[in-house]
Chain A
Amino acid sequence: MMNNGTAAISVRELRVVRGGRAVLDGVTFDVPRGTVTGLLGPSGCGKSTLMRSIVGVQVVASGAVEVMGRLAGAPRLRRSVGYVTQAPSVYRDLTVGENLRYFARVLGARDGDVERVLDEVDLRSNVDIVTGRLSGGQEARVSLAAALLGSPDLLVLDEPTVGLDPVLRRDIWALFARLAESGTTLLVSSHVMDEATRCERLLLMRAGRILADDTPGALLERTGSTDIESAFLDLVEQAERSAA
């Protein structure tokens, strides 16, 4: 296990209770810097709650969450962590450009950063279109572009590729790989298992617990499976056998 000083995210025994139910129950893991880590698991397994805990907007029952050596949500982190919620969190009554210019000003990002992120998500030609008139996939990319403003050190992305066509999905994953190469840490959640192969590390989640924390290759080897979906099923069966 990595030491806390070098990990981008360090979570210890995290427990989150929502509506009387433990949504996260004793979650512990580290995310190394400069990697793309996939957070995979079925819908409702606690992925979004875990991401909310990491960006510091979730009320936590117990445990510790540190981001780059600081407590999650610390004021100093607010410029260095980019967060994309599952539903696009942009102003639908503003144009793409107005949205991004506003968030850039709030972040104190330099001029020209808006053009850069528009190019990254391939939306430059839509800059003057009111966001609510865009397709679902385009709106999701505006939300992603806003998180890229100011080049944060850590990107926490909740299902950023939902509703994108295969070509765009490939481009977005290529963007993630480029960002990781330049030193950015990315935590990307998905409920689509075939996106796992694009990640350097995987966190498999089910019912509020981490099932596995490994590289895709090591996971396949350990379970003797040919794809991540069967590896996941295998791990679920193992966990149930050991619980019984």
Chain B
Amino acid sequence: MNPRITLATAGRVLAQLRHDHRTMALLVAVPCVLMSLLAWIFDGTPMFDRIGAPLLGVFPFVVMFLVTSVATLRERTSGTLERLLTMPMSRLDLLLGYALAFGLLATVQAAVVTTLSVTALGLDVAGPVWLLLVVAVLDALLGMALGLLVSAFAATEFQAVQFMPAFVLPQSLLCGLLVPRDTLDTALRLVSDVLPLSYAVDAMRDITASDTVGPGTWGDLSVVGTAIVVALALGAATLRRRTP
């Protein structure tokens, strides 16, 4: 691993995004519009306070999953990945470069959406708002790691996009956003127990509900952190220097 190469890669990914103004605008604007829409739909009910915060974590997860799976697939099909792997670059340099760039992007996205939600939209957060941001960035990195992993199994961009409903929707349905996890059928509950997004949403909910951060929240966050490391390691295993 080499910090010079890692930073150069992060800078290169950010430069690619900088050239793509529309993607940048969509990344920030779409979650803002959706949150505003939700606040409006649930105006006058406690629902927005219940699902608003967990959604702050789900947006970056979904977006980074999509962006990474397409970006990695492009690296594989354009030959740039092959070129990089003939250079003195380790796979970790590439992964950390992407993680840094997308982590930064997720921070900006989460900061804008969170600020909008707790101010103009009136989302009630009992705990520290900065911790909401930390969870949102962790969710983004989780989405990135999973996107990288599944891109290895997609041969075309059409397939990569199809992995979104296949991998992301089940996690969103079972993470406690629609129905509290402890009221789920036992089988579903067990499935939701092994899906990392469930812990991210639990943490978000704890932070909004209570003004003290308990060991349960830290436990949830360490589960999410572990899931990121495992998914990145599996993703690294799919970046082969030698291919058939």
Does chain A bind chain B? yes
Interface contact A90-B80, CB-CB below 8 Å: yes
Interface contact B4-A108, CB-CB below 8 Å: yes
Which B positions have Cβ atoms within 8 angstroms of A?
4-5, 8-9, 11-12, 15-16, 19-20, 78-80, 82-89, 241-244
Interface contact A18-B244, CB-CB below 8 Å: yes
Q: Does A12 count as interface, using CB distance less than 8 angstroms?
A: no
Interface contact A83-B244, CB-CB below 8 Å: no
Interface contact A98-B12, CB-CB below 8 Å: yes
Interface contact B88-A57, CB-CB below 8 Å: no
Complex Cα distance A57/B82, Å?
7
Interface contact A73-B241, CB-CB below 8 Å: yes
How many A-B residue pairs lie within 8 Å, measured between CB atoms? 81
**A122 → chain B closest CB, angstroms:** 21
Q: A58-B243, A73-B242, A94-B19 are in contact. Are A106 and B87 (CB under 8 A)?
A: yes
Interface string of A62-106 (1 = CB under 8 A from B): 000000000001010011010101011111111000100011011
Interface contact B87-A85, CB-CB below 8 Å: no
Query: Taking chain B's interface residues, is the majority helix, strand, or loop, or is none over half, making it mixed?
Result: helix
Interface contact A79-B16, CB-CB below 8 Å: no
Indicate which residue in A60, A73, A130 contacts B19 across the interface (CB closer than 8 Å): A130
**B193 → chain A closest CB, angstroms:** 39
Q: Does A186 count as interface, using CB distance less than 8 angstroms?
A: no
Contacts of B78 in A (CB 8 A): 87, 89-92
Interface contact A94-B15, CB-CB below 8 Å: yes
Contacts of A98 in B (CB 8 A): 12, 15
Complex Cα distance A85/B88, Å?
17
Q: Does A175 count as interface, using CB distance less than 8 angstroms?
A: no
Q: A57-B242, A92-B78 are in contact. Are A78 and B15 (CB under 8 A)?
A: no
Interface contact B242-A93, CB-CB below 8 Å: no
* Nearest chain A residue, comparing its CB with the CB of B90: A75
Given A57-B243, A108-B4, 4 new contacts (CB under 8 A): A78-B86, A78-B87, A79-B88, A102-B8
Q: A57-B85, A58-B243, A59-B243 are in contact. Are A102 and B79 (CB under 8 A)?
A: no
Q: Does A192 count as interface, using CB distance less than 8 angstroms?
A: no
Chain A count of residues within 8 A CB distance of the other chain: 31
Interface contact A78-B5, CB-CB below 8 Å: no
Q: Does A233 count as interface, using CB distance less than 8 angstroms?
A: no
Interface string of A146-175 (1 = CB under 8 A from B): 100000000000000000000000000000
Which A positions have Cβ atoms within 8 angstroms of B?
18, 55-60, 73, 75, 78-79, 81, 83, 85, 87-94, 98, 102-103, 105-108, 130, 146
Complex Cα distance A87/B77, Å?
10
Interface contact B82-A89, CB-CB below 8 Å: yes
Q: A94-B12, A102-B8 are in contact. Are A58 and B82 (CB under 8 A)?
A: no
Those 5 A-B pairs whose CB atoms lie nearest each other, nearest first: A89-B79, A105-B8, A78-B88, A102-B12, A89-B83
**B24 → chain A closest CB, angstroms:** 13
Indicate which residue in A85, A91, A94, A106 contacts B89 across the interface (CB closer than 8 Å): A106
Complex Cα distance A106/B84, Å?
8
**A3 → chain B closest CB, angstroms:** 26
Interface pairs (27), CB distance under 8 Å: A56-B242, A57-B86, A57-B241, A57-B243, A58-B243, A59-B243, A59-B244, A60-B242, A79-B87, A87-B78, A88-B79, A89-B78, A89-B82, A90-B80, A91-B12, A91-B16, A91-B80, A94-B16, A102-B9, A103-B87, A105-B5, A106-B5, A106-B9, A106-B87, A107-B88, A108-B88, A130-B19
Interface contact A106-B15, CB-CB below 8 Å: no
Contacts of B5 in A (CB 8 A): 105-106
Q: A93-B20, A106-B5 are in contact. Are A146 and B242 (CB under 8 A)?
A: no
Complex Cα distance A90/B82, Å?
11
Contacts of B88 in A (CB 8 A): 75, 78-79, 106-108
* Nearest chain B residue, comparing its CB with the CB of A132: B19
Complex Cα distance A146/B84, Å?
11
Complex Cα distance A57/B241, Å?
5
**A203 → chain B closest CB, angstroms:** 21
